[in-house]
Amino acid sequence: MGKQIKFSVGNVLRGYKSVEISVGGTKVKYKILRNELKPVEKNSVAVNIDKNLSDTFDALNIFAWEKNYRGENISDGVQWTLTFTDGDKIYRGRGANAYPDTWDDFLDWLDALIPEMKFIDGKRLDAVELRLSREDEIFEELTVNRGENLLTLEKNSSTHTYHFSVEETKNFLDVCQKYFETLETNDAENYGLKISVNLQRHDGSAENFTMPYNDFSMPGVVKFAEEIHAFAADLSAEIFSPEALHVTNDAERFILCKVQFKGNYKAYTYRAEDETFSVGEIVDVPVGRNNDVTQAKIVDIAYFDEDELPIPLDRIKTIIGKHTGNAWDNF
């Protein structure tokens, strides 16, 4: 009789990928029912599979999967259903933001069989490695690996590990992927404190870059560290410890403010020479080639040594002063 598979995965917003598969020895016949929101003609294709692909499927041990997997926020995210028949044995299971241990192996098997479906995005983030350093001194190295479901934090005097479940790893890296897709990378070789980033994608490609480490030039990595503590709440070690950020020289400190103009949500960086400025305050700033004076609201304030400035000092305009006119309504 062979093996019969009916599988669907996705969500309402993105749509569902659904297939029916019949396996008889090395002969496989499959039918694509849905491919997310794209209309698909029902079709049947017969293919041959080699022994390795057949053995990979058997190693999934689907009959050992639980019947129901439930993660957090089950009203959103990813839902899946699977019916698997092998002779007289039938497995019926489902999940919402939670998965069996061999979930990724199952999706890889499907992609090898039906590559046009792309059950796993080739650009999916599979591993992240961050290295915080100043010159040749490494303060911390942090690695999160999807395949090992493991977070490792190497400090100068200690090593910390945290084991994720499959769904924790998946949800964590999927959430954090956005932080590394919106970074505006800059050359950090001339900066003191910097962070090196190594991103590994599912298709085997890698991205490597180095940036100054501060809230202005690298908000994605700062948020990434916050996400780690949100997912690994009992990880006692501090990530990118404040002591690593301690200024060891007597260089002049500079105040940089991010400001927003009325009707524009993009933030712009200005230098401040007044330590009494506060977030939310309206200030006068020079704009454009003619340095026309206009008003803006301060949305962030940070302090930097000269060698850690996210923008060269000669390219940063200076706030003129606090706006003395009427405060803007509904800024």
Domain edge (last residue) among 192, 223, 245 = 245
If asked whether residues 75 and 8 sit together in one domain, one would say: yes
Report if residue 330 sits inside a domain.
no
Q: In which domain, by residue range, is 171 found? A: 125-245
Report if residue 331 sits inside a domain.
no
Report if residue 327 sits inside a domain.
no
If asked whether residues 11 and 40 sit together in one domain, one would say: yes
* pTM of the predicted model as reported, rounded to 2 decimal places: 0.67
Domain edge (last residue) among 117, 141, 159 = 117
For the chain (length 331 residues), average pLDDT per consecutive 10? Answer: 89 90 87 85 78 89 94 73 95 92 93 91 91 85 90 83 83 82 59 83 90 70 78 74 47 81 86 85 93 91 78 91 73 55
What pLDDT is recorded for position 230?
80
The number of domains in the chain is 3
Q: What is the CATH number of the domain that holds 8?
A: 3.30.1560
Report if residue 235 sits inside a domain.
yes
How far apart are alpha carbons 200 and 207 in whole angstroms? 7
Partners of 280 in the beta sheet?
A: none
Task: For residue 296, give Cα distances in angstroms to 52, 179, 274.
Answer: 63, 27, 16
Starting at the edge strand found earlier in the chain, the sheet holding 206-212 runs 159-163, 150-155, 137-145, 125-134, 193-201, 206-212
Partners of 286 in the beta sheet?
A: 293
Q: What is the CATH number of the domain that holds 192?
A: 3.30.1560.10
If asked whether residues 191 and 83 sit together in one domain, one would say: no
If asked whether residues 99 and 188 sit together in one domain, one would say: no
If asked whether residues 151 and 53 sit together in one domain, one would say: no
If asked whether residues 58 and 101 sit together in one domain, one would say: yes
What pLDDT is recorded for position 247?
40
Instruction: State the pairing for strand pair 89-96/68-70.
Output: parallel
Say which amino acid occupies 45: V
If asked whether residues 26 and 56 sit together in one domain, one would say: yes
If asked whether residues 155 and 260 sit together in one domain, one would say: no
Nearest CA among 255, 239, 243 for reference residue 309: 255
What pLDDT is recorded for position 7?
97
Domain edge (last residue) among 100, 117, 134 = 117
Question: Could you tell me if 138 and 147 are in contact, meaning their C-beta atoms sit under 8 angstroms apart?
Answer: no
Tokens 């090992």: give the residue: 148
What pLDDT is recorded for position 250?
43
Nearest CA among 266, 255, 185, 267 for reference residue 221: 185
